[in-house]
Amino acid sequence: MKKFLLITVGVILAIIALSSIGHIIGMAISLFIVYFSYKQFMATSSTVGKIIWALIGLIGFSGLLGSLPALAGIAAVYILYTGYKNWDRKKEAPVVEKEDPFTGFEREWERLKQQK
Within 10 A of 38 (CB to CB), how many other CB atoms are there? 16
Q: Is there a contact between 50 and 44 (Cβ–Cβ < 8 Å)? A: yes
Task: Provide the number of structural domains found in the chain.
Answer: 1
Residues 6+ apart with CB under 8 A from 57: 33, 34, 37, 38, 41
Q: Is 72 part of any domain?
A: yes
**Which residue in 31, 28, 20, 33 sits closest to 70, CA to CA?**
20
pTM of the model: 0.66
Is 82 among the domain residues? yes
Query: Which pLDDT belongs to residue 62?
Result: 95
Q: Is residue 6 part of a domain?
A: yes
pLDDT for position 90: 74
Residues of the chain with pLDDT under 70: 96-103, 116
The answer to the question of residue 96 being in a domain is no
Note whether residue 47 is domain-resident: yes
Question: Is residue 113 one of the residues assigned to a domain?
Answer: no
80: containing domain = 2-88
Q: Does 62 map to a domain?
A: yes
Of 73, 76, 89, 88, residue with least CA distance to 10: 76
